Structure 1
């Protein structure tokens, strides 16, 4: 269950209140230190005034009083330093926790906005197609075309549901992986062909080596490949090429998905694998997505002793590569 969303506008108020309280605590600590030092100085003066100059032990007593004052000063300085350090360290951790909570809240808010858009489109298309079949008597060819479009949209819903369900289960460590020996080439080819059918206007470049096998979970690996292809379709240019290659290199199986989109800035290349993270502002973003796809890709790759990296696809675009160790 998602945590209660905190409006982003409250972040400024919370930060201001935090700094105000921190300054108050530091001011109180400084006032405590100054007061103790003043009190120690006054007590030293009182003791010195009570001494008699003709006392044979006058100098010895003066030295004792002075040493006592120095010890008290060192004590106050030490205690003050410890308290100040604890305040700063505690404030740092509290502030970081609050910032993390606000960031998570904003990400969840963006996720809710994105998931709403992702769900509305396939539901609306499927509903319109079914209503068309119900109200109109179409010829067999048109019926099959509408049915195929409806199946594509339900596949989108199924993929979205799988992403959300698997992500939640993996986060809660409740997902039970069922690894088996499988033909990764066949699995990848089926995924690519499905996307080629859904997006026939895209320029596809596909190269899959035959009979590449490994031990893995079929559902997770299909989600992994589908998410990478889906990411390339979303962010690639309309006229650009979408590349998919799979081949063996020594003791590794390399899977590469490329696009010719705008690419990913260097400072974003690691962030895009965080849960719910998406580049840009959710309110004005036109590209669909939930921020779970690449997060799942990284988690699934890790589950299969694999590594996923993103590099620039020159001259433009991104190149995602998965390195399976076999």
Structure 2
């Protein structure tokens, strides 16, 4: 894998070097032709003036006409050259941005493939080990129940991962049809929180959710949104730190907040974290699980519900994610 990455980087470096060389060559050729044409224009002016007879009554007028023609040609060359140069620079800028974006997307997709492979293999391996243990050994009911509960948790992880990937692809392609309805967001958020409490009994999840707050939305998508935000907070905060889930109504808006006491997010990364496949750091040094789809999905879901999502620093440390939706 390292050898493939090495040759890929070498290939991209070579392509970039060739692109810059061609750009400078084109600009140099444009400057060369401008100087050549301007020199030729000056020579034609000198030739025309030398052909005139000084004793002619119209000598001065013809010299002025030749000078005017020379100036017009110079203006023409400067104008055409400037337009060509501007078009070349604009085109080069677009090519550079497209190439840079493609390289970044390629790198993010590669990180995503590495992450999703790990995310898929881990629950499959745990599930297989649990089932093999139950088949090969005679276990007590308590041990059997513990293994079954663990296997169910891993199956839920796989289900969430598949949902994230599938819904993300459908939303991006415009193939997902939102079936909006008047939805009790209070009950939905509490149900997601209860599920997380069951799956993570060693963690503390504190909820502040008033009853009967309604929004106009899609149940599955909003479940994914709340679940992804809670999962994100649990992943990036210490096990002894609580995660807070709050819901409030302010005028015609419903605000859902998820707060953690983790390491926080640098200001330079706050906008990037909602980009598809983007994760802070590199896949080789990152210790937390994830595919880079969770927060991207949250932003996409919030936007499709005519809402918004934002992140700010928590006090004394950590992050607070706030989703704003329209109340029903």
* 1:121 paired residue number: 122
Contact 1:237 1:259 in 2 (8 A): no
* 2:137 paired residue number: 136
For structure 1, the 5+ residue unaligned runs are none
The separation in 2 between residues aligned to 1:177 and 1:8, in whole angstroms, is 41
Contact 2:302 2:309 in 1 (8 A): yes
* 1:210 paired residue number: 211
* 1:47 paired residue number: 48
List per-residue Cα deviations over 1:265-313 (Å, max 9, x = no partner): 1111111111111111122111111111001001111122222111111
Q: Post-superposition shift, 1:9?
A: 4.4
* 1:99 paired residue number: 100
Contact 2:153 2:199 in 1 (8 A): yes
Q: TM-score, normalised by structure 1?
A: 0.95
For structure 2, the 5+ residue unaligned runs are none
Matches within 5 A, 1:158-237: 158-237=159-238
List per-residue Cα deviations over 1:125-175 (Å, max 9, x = no partner): 111011111111111111111111101000000000000000000110000
The separation in 1 between residues aligned to 2:9 and 2:208, in whole angstroms, is 46
Contact 2:310 2:322 in 1 (8 A): yes
Matches within 5 A, 1:244-323: 244-323=245-324
Number of residues of Structure 1 aligned to a counterpart in Structure 2 = 322
The separation in 1 between residues aligned to 2:48 and 2:215, in whole angstroms, is 86
Contact 2:193 2:205 in 1 (8 A): no
Write out the 4+ residue segments of structure 1 that deviate beyond 4 Å after TM superposition.
none
Q: Post-superposition shift, 1:67?
A: 1.2
Q: Do structure 1's residue 147 and structure 2's residue 148 form an aligned pair?
A: yes
Contact 2:185 2:214 in 1 (8 A): yes
Residues 195 and 8 from structure 1, CA distance in 2 versus in 1: closer, same or farther, beyond 3 angstroms?
farther
Matches within 5 A, 1:70-89: 70-89=71-90
List per-residue Cα deviations over 1:71-117 (Å, max 9, x = no partner): 11111111111111111111111111111111111111111011011
* 1:33 paired residue number: 34
